[in-house]
Chains A and B, each alone.
Chain A
Amino acid sequence: MINRSLKLPISLKVSISIFIVFWLIIAAFPFIWTLWGSFKIEADFFSKADWMNALFAPRTIAEKGGAFTGDGYYGAWVQENFWQAVINTTLVCFFVVGTSLTIGTLGGYALSRSSYKYTFWLLITALIFRAMPPITLVAGYLLPFYEWNLWGHLATTVIVLVAINQPFTLWMLHSFFQKIPKELDESAKVDGCTQFQAFRHVIIPVMWPGVITTGLFSFLLAYNDFAITSMLLSQNNQTMVPKIASFMGTTQTEGNVMFAVAAVVSTTAPLFIMVMFFQRQIVSGLTAGAVKG
């Protein structure tokens, strides 16, 4: 690769660099801009007079005495109880990832170790389920959930998210388990282990890279979901994303769009950190399905 890039003519090199810079600006600038703007007041971040106001913040200085203000964050976290949504999201994500990995590894392992034809049909069914937009299922949930008073609780949402997550988890873990040689657990079974013992003592110790990658995607699904969480959670139990959407309804009239800006930054920050630490796993997860298929 390196000697090939050395051979690039200078004009091509320059245009590639320009393109990359252009793409990086498109990809990252909106986030940096929003982060910067979240510390201003609305009159500066949304300035009719001059966009430079968002940079130098004359109104923020005039009103708050400094170029940066934490008012948006205070408003969102304290006044509008965004902290509650943060706790809810943490709970939902933790239980979704935990449950979906537990039942997903069992299922994915079984699929990879059985040679009967029905495993194929199960995988095809999972693929069909994976294609269903989650919002189309919501109408089916609401009636029984109302009848049995299950609507609005975090636990219900966790179970629904786990189920919606299963098809993807199964496919991913299935392909990871297929890379673990069958001889490993076969030999354990020859030594007298049951299938479950072989799984417990031989497979679990070596499966972690695949499980961590799959876990990251389960986490992302739970963290980013809007369709299910906005429909199935009551006001008090809302997670961060539907909470932000509800800000849009209430705060725009009060001129407090900055609450929403601050909430968006607060929600995005953990994702940034996650990508920073798990970039390699995310990339390998995205490509796992593709390269295999």
Chain B
Amino acid sequence: MIDVSYYPGCSLEGTAKDYRESIETVCERVGIKLHELEDWNCCGATAAHSLSHKAAINLSARNLTIAEKAGMDLVIPCALCFNRMKAAEKVLLGPYRREYAYRFEGSIKIWDLLDFFCQDRVKAEIARRFKRPLKGLKPVCYYGCMANRPPTITDARNWENPTNMDELLSFLGAEVIDWPYKTDCCGASHVVARPDIVFNLVYKLFDMAERVGANCIVVSCQMCQANLDMYQDEISKKFNRDFYFPILYFTELVGMAIGEKQVNRWLTKHFVSAKPLIESVGLNL
């Protein structure tokens, strides 16, 4: 059993409940025990770092203090929460730490959930429960921005061309397709005030995914998932195309590979139905 602290973040309590369910179930199945941080608060997201550097750092720092007290490494699924927590870590271990209200000694490691899953010890647990290879799934891995950039904050090793998700999905037997837009931006929270920007960015992703012959897009960030999934119809119409890309969480693919029946329920919570794809490749449970 691997014990870790867990920071779900606000959207996993709401619009990304599907991601949360898949994370918590899959972790339990592969022997990861998630301990939700006591009384965690919002990281402040883009709003805080846009309007107050200081408040943004303090908001995340409060969570880090709680996590350090709990004494276990901290796992964060949301790429932006992860990024904000790492930014606070760097500040609290840097020369200006006295300007902030919280202390952090750096005694625990802050993990992006995907990266945590890509450890050999977790892969070994998955291998022990492996039921069937995900043959026929031809995903492109979409990593997005925040889990990797900037590397001075995230400590990512391959920020221009990350490969950990590609390796994990290949390990699950999926026929992963390489593509050049792994870490291109989806526009994130601009979708509220500037959907025009998001639609342009996401259209480019779909267009490239189609050109390289992918049949689905796999993500590890719920903001990427929402922007690619919820607006796929609208983007298809706007650009006069007929895109069909189920936008799947990597945890759902782990679930499929270990034969977890709840996968079906998680998939019905997406806007673009994965059912036609799953049935066409014979992966239905």
- Our verdict on whether A and B bind, yes or no, reads no
B binding-site residues for A, Cβ under 8 Å = none
A binding-site residues for B, Cβ under 8 Å = none
